Structure 1
Amino acid sequence: MNQTAVKRLYLMQVGSMPEYQIPIVCYLVQTDDNRNILIDTGLPEFIPEEASDFVNGQDVVEQLASIGLKPDDIHMVVSTHYDIDHSGRHAAFTKAEYVVQRLHHLDAESNPRFVANRPQWDQPMDRIRLVHGDTELLPGLELIETSGHVPGHQSVLVRLPKTGATLLPIDAVPFGEDFSRNGQDDGKNPDAEAIRASTVKLLELTEREQIGLVIFGHDRAQWEGLKKLPEYFD
């Protein structure tokens, strides 16, 4: 019997944070058995006042429509974490299973950081799969637990047939300049040690797996040069 395999990775910029000139992004993975797996959902349709430094662009629902997909065509949403620029359209995908780290979901239930966007991420538990630590979702799609930015943050490893292993650190390492053993040491994050540990974990994974492409989640210079939907990596 043939196993499911990843065949395609789309990148979508759905908004920005103009003050810092950074893109707000999400991703779509397609498999050879026609499963559509969304990684994050970008900004909410209406941005609350406390998140007014974000600006919407063409949102994820519109971008998916441009390649013929409706929200109900999404089988799974991999939620890397519940920050408002990563989970703002979760509630649009009513047929999808949500996959999130157990640690993160439990923390979010009482963490004021995630209150404004709770109507999006707080879905019925029969549709949320809580995972613990590094997890292979299916052949070619792996979740990497990378706490630090928030408890239970997860990065994603996608194994593509032509491009090869492609790493999405998301907010574990949002900028390429910080992808080093000495990166992100600005003293602003109370969990700086966990951030460093997750960065080293991803560096070691990149070296061990000989990963040729690392796509940083908010790196404007890199994003300007990447293929974006309707183009894709295969």
Structure 2
Amino acid sequence: MSQDVVKRLYLMQVGSMPQYQIPIVCYLVQTEDGKNILIDSGLPEVMPEGESEFENGRDVIEQLAIIGLTPDDIDTVISTHYDIDHAGRHAAFTKAQYVVQRVHHLDAASNPRFAANRPQWDQPMERIRLVDGDTELLPGLELIETSGHVPGHQSVLVRLPKTGAIVLTVDAVPFGKGFTRDEQEGGSDPDAAAVRASTIKLLDLVEREQIGLVLFGHDQAQWEGLKKLPEYYE
């Protein structure tokens, strides 16, 4: 058996959107050979001027410390996308390789949506791995390209030894009510057709592999019933 097989998944709530009672979350995957793979980094330590939607909680660095980890212990940061509530602490992980969809990274360079958070995600290119579409990072950890919310958004499939497969939809499907083949309102997403296509793609994956646990990116009702760090899924 490969030594870098996934063994554990931690869930962290690092803040919220109080107006909507929406959790801001990120995740940590650990492998048998001791790799620590962070999925998103949550909100920035200091919000950009004029940003009032989000409220910080116990940030990702504080939470990692609970289980004895420092930013230098993180080997990889999977960046699902560069929105400020998902990439707000990227710059803290100076020893990590960042993994992001090429389409997203190239779009972000000129997209004003990501400008305020640029000091976090705009890291040296020798430390950024650009991927194209669905990608297996290592046994038990796969990236699923799910554009729509933004170009080049990616969800994550984690295969655990006891729990089995878990899909982290992130912002491809932020709420459980949207995980349906029925037509949905476009909401704030600029490309409703791509959102729907990515939702169907994830539904097909879940049905095809009979995946029992799908974690939605900002679903407060679901979040309340999940294990949170220092507890974990294995």
TM-score class, shorter-chain normalisation, is: over 0.9
1:142-221 alignment, distance < 5 Å? 142-182=142-182, 184-186=184-186, 188-221=188-221
Q: Aligned-pair distance for 1:144?
A: 0.2
Residue pair 1:141, 1:157 contacting (<8 A) in 2 also:
yes
Corresponding position of 1:33: 33
Q: How many percent of aligned residue pairs carry the same amino acid? A: 79
1:59-98 alignment, distance < 5 Å? 59-98=59-98
Q: Aligned-pair distance for 1:187?
A: 5.1
Residue pair 1:172, 1:195 contacting (<8 A) in 2 also:
yes
1:92-171 alignment, distance < 5 Å? 92-171=92-171
Aligned to 1:215, what secondary structure does the other structure show? strand
Cα distance in structure 2, aligned partners of 1:35 and 1:189: 34
Cα distance in structure 2, aligned partners of 1:183 and 1:55: 32
Q: Aligned-pair distance for 1:51?
A: 2.5
Compute the TM-score of the two structures, normalised by the length of structure 2.
0.98
Aligned to 2:61, what secondary structure does the other structure show? helix
Cα distance in structure 2, aligned partners of 1:190 and 1:226: 30
> Deviation digits for residues 75-102 of structure 1, max 9, x if unmatched?
0000000000000000000000000000
Which amino acid is 2:12 matched to?
M
Q: Which runs of 5+ in 2 are unaligned?
A: none
Compute the TM-score of the two structures, normalised by the length of structure 1.
0.98
> Deviation digits for residues 167-197 of structure 1, max 9, x if unmatched?
0000000000100012542454330000000
Cα distance in structure 1, aligned partners of 2:116 and 2:45: 13
> Deviation digits for residues 177-230 of structure 1, max 9, x if unmatched?
100012542454330000000000000000011111001010000001100000
Question: Please, which moves more after superposition, 208-217 or 45-54?
Answer: 45-54
Aligned residues: 234
